[in-house]
Structure 1
């Protein structure tokens, strides 16, 4: 009979080896999500049209019979009505934007320590942002000054908005960095929350035997005494 040939020896002789399977690392979602976030953020920054912002300032000035604290309180109140429908109706002709769209392109901010109101207009063009801010500031001053005799406070235009030179929206590099961080965060959270994230015990590892089996191999107390008696008799 011919001797049996070992398959490993035959493979070694023939020079062929079985291709080894490469396992994908378990942390692959982290770089994958980071790259996807980087691409999405960069594309958003490139495709989105730049947005410009311009700010005008209006200050509340008290008359001779009104305390400064009263002017501060009216500045807070006028800041709330700066984006109301009545104020935007006055500003609509000069801004050149519809009232509904104008509401989404203007915001007003006040300070609890200063009787000043900051009105910011946003637009896709620098001149459009400045026109919106100035139009709303003038409309707020005109509508509020009609009640100056009753309130004792007058609104004055402190500083007009100027057309900005740089957009206020983030650039493509900043959008890509934000997307990279967000994607990496999602990938890390997926690694922590994935179903097979907990380590499992390998089958090759021997299980810990209970301590009761060790005590079972020890001789009983009576057997130990009998063994001592037999040795004394001998």
Structure 2
């Protein structure tokens, strides 16, 4: 191999690398494509999923004549933690006309941090069923409070009944598409952060192979061998 062929080989190698890079998809389309895919998936989920309704009722713990208001706050916290268990022990599932497993999975209770009040929220695909489950759990708490009133010295009263919801709480199709598009854009951006490392590793590998080929070509240059033979002849 003569030194004149080295620039040609380098030129051909450079053209091959550029052609390989041209075949790769453009990075500029990665994030928009991910956003579009996420928005389509989210919109499809919002359209195909069954709407869910939520109903909320409220129960308040009232201190007795000789009880401490702070004790009412503590009992409200206790009732809120075991609201579902107390409801299952009573007839809440029968009143709501659902199974105990459905009642446990669909009802949640939360206690106010600054008042002895418990909010009971039930979720269901049927608005009337959601309201019935919330009222059933509240009724069970009132009965339990009445049975334990002599020992606790507090009274559990239903403060507000749950109303039948008219609008679903599940995400709508536009909102689901917006959330899906945001998630797709995040994943697309993360993929762009990973790809440059792989490309840099490939470039480093090519750079390491190029000097090795050049070294083999320069080890036995043509003119140098000719000069040495002429010197030996003289």
- TM superposition score normalised by structure 1: 0.73
1:108 aligns to what SS in structure 2? Answer: strand
Determine if contact 2:59/2:117 at 8 Å carries over to the other structure.
Answer: yes
2:122 aligns to what SS in structure 1? Answer: strand
CA distance in 1, matches of 2:66, 2:89: 32
Corresponding residue for 2:169?
168
Unaligned runs of 5+ in 1: 1-20, 204-234
**CA displacement, residues 131-166 of structure 1 (integer Å, 9 cap, x when unaligned):** 110011001110122011001111000000000111
Query: Given the superposition, is the C-alpha separation of residues 187 and 149 from structure 1 closer, same or farther in structure 2, using an over 3 Å criterion?
Result: same
**CA displacement, residues 6-58 of structure 1 (integer Å, 9 cap, x when unaligned):** xxxxxxxxxxxxxxx77631233212211111111001100001000010000
Corresponding residue for 1:150?
151
1:114 aligns to what SS in structure 2? Answer: coil
CA distance in 1, matches of 2:89, 2:127: 22
List aligned pairs for 1:77-226, cutoff 5 A: 77-84=78-85, 86-90=86-90, 91-194=92-195, 195-196=197-198, 198=200
1:27 aligns to what SS in structure 2? Answer: helix
List aligned pairs for 1:33-52, cutoff 5 A: 33-52=34-53
1:74 aligns to what SS in structure 2? Answer: helix
User: CA-atom RMSD, angstroms?
Assistant: 1.9
**CA displacement, residues 194-225 of structure 1 (integer Å, 9 cap, x when unaligned):** 2435495898xxxxxxxxxxxxxxxxxxxxxx
Structure with more helix by fraction: 2
Determine if contact 1:89/1:99 at 8 Å carries over to the other structure.
Answer: no
